[in-house]
A and B are shown apart, each in its own frame.
Chain A
Amino acid sequence: MRIIPRLRLDFATRRRAVPPGYLLLAAGAVFALVAGLTLEEHHATAEKAAAEAKARRIAAAKPAGEVPRFDAVDRRLATPWGMILTAIDQAVADQVVLLTVEPDAEKGRIQIGAEGKTAAAMTEFVSALANHLAFSSAVLVSHQVRAEDQDKPLRFTVAVQWRAVK
């Protein structure tokens, strides 16, 4: 037997007052939570101190030098620019115009600024990026309707994470 899903659509903005009995219950729950967190924090501090001591020992054994800088250069050289630019190009539909592409090689991320004629074109573009094999995720960071433009296009920003090439 299928169950009709409940909709639970409530348009009231002001929540009803909670009876005092439930407030007491909630206060008790909060107290228990705080006590638990304090204990956990205590354990975490002890573990952190041990980890720091271990890290200091490892650092003392490692020769000081250029390793971090070489890592950064290596990451930039390893970035699959050809694949990324092709993937973005494939995702751009008729109703979307690319405005900016700002890569961040350190984090493996690209910030794409674009303008879409409709909300549907925008979501289609984001969806195409998200589904592309080159990227592990694509998230719509912001969007805004350009009211001054007669066609009311949407200017939006998408954050894309590319997949590491192995």
Chain B
Amino acid sequence: MVKLQLKKFAGLLWRPESPELLISPKEIISLSKGRPDGLVRMTCAAADGREWAGAMACLTEWCGKQKAAKGRTVEPVIVISNHWVRYVVLPADRGNLRRTEEVEFARAMVAERNGPEWESSTIRLSRGVSDEGIIAAAIPNALLADISAVLSATGLRCRAIHPLFSHTLDHARFPGGGSHALIACVEPGRMVIGMVGNDGWSWVQSPLSGLKPAVTLERELSREQSLFAVAGETPLYLFEHGASVDETIDPALQVVIHRLH
């Protein structure tokens, strides 16, 4: 009797399993925390159609396996690769724009910086303590629609959809102090790098990176530091997702690298 009631109470507060699922152009990686067999990598073959068609085929296969093994008791947190997300920092002086107008403003900024194809994207805004240094992130509507279609077809639903950069930041523990910090999230072929200070974000870029990510890092840092110069050394918190920055960074840039996971 007691056992039955305990089971019933546990059922009231029950939550489904939520593995993190990184979707990138060449592979998807699933991580179920606290499980010995928790890390699963699936290589995505190139496919015709949109640039994420191969990843969607992978996602379909992964969802099918999860459904077969666990039924509906799995709700993945989907993490989208830096390749398919763009960021802008909204200017502090935006007038008295309402929330919906800020979103449209951000969409226009993303499209202006990255091309007209980004006009058809979904925007999310970060919220800080003030109106300064707010980040807007954009993901193509078509990608979100394709993810939704795959999930619907397999009968699963997701708990959340996060960009890799923000997901990494939100789950990291930062050791350093100081008034400013650089944050870089490196993946094969693309990285996101930005500077954050006491007033929020100063800048964020998501450049393509070649075989030597350090070269791209140096290029972005030297360009942005000419605009947002900070006196003294600046910590650079580096997150490496399948790509490593093995080379040394030019000492003239005055950054101290902290590798985080």
Q: Which of B137, B176, B200 contacts A5 (CB 8 A)?
A: B200
* Complex Cα gap A24–B9 (Å): 12
A10 touches B161 (CB 8 A): yes
**Which of A73-81, A107-115, A132-140 participates in binding chain B?**
A132-140
Main secondary structure of the interface of B (DSSP, over half): mixed
**Which residues from chain B contact A5 at a C-beta distance below 8 Å?**
126, 128-129, 196, 200-201
Name which of B25-33, B57-65, B166-174, B216-224 contacts chain A: B166-174
Let me know if A21 and B160 touch, CB within 8 A: no
Knowing A11-B122, A12-B161 are in contact, say whether A4-B181 is a contact too (CB < 8 A): yes
| A12: chain B residues within 8 A (beta carbon) | 78, 158-161
Interface size on A, residues (CB 8 A): 31
* Sample of 15 more A-B contacts, CB < 8 Å, known A9-B124, A138-B96: A2-B176, A3-B174, A7-B165, A9-B162, A9-B166, A10-B124, A11-B124, A11-B139, A12-B159, A14-B157, A20-B12, A21-B12, A123-B94, A127-B94, A140-B96
Contact with A along B82-102 (1 / 0, CB 8 A): 000000000001111110010
Q: How far is the CB of A163 from chain B (nearest CB, A)?
A: 16
The smallest beta-carbon distance between B128 and chain A, in angstroms, is 5
- What is the bound-complex CA distance between A7 and B237, given in angstroms? 16
Interchain CA distance A24-B8 in the complex, whole Å: 14
Given contacts A7-B166, A16-B157, A20-B12, contact A123 B124 (CB under 8 A): no
Decide if B177 touches A2 in the complex (CB within 8 Å). yes
Chain B residues near A138 (CB-CB < 8 A):
95-96
Does B135 sit at the interface, judged by CB under 8 A?
yes
Residues of A within 8 A of B177 (CB): 1-2
> Which of B13, B101, B157, B200 makes the CB contact (< 8 A) with A21?
B13
> Is B15's beta carbon under 8 Å from chain A?
yes
| B178 and chain A: residue at smallest CB distance | A2
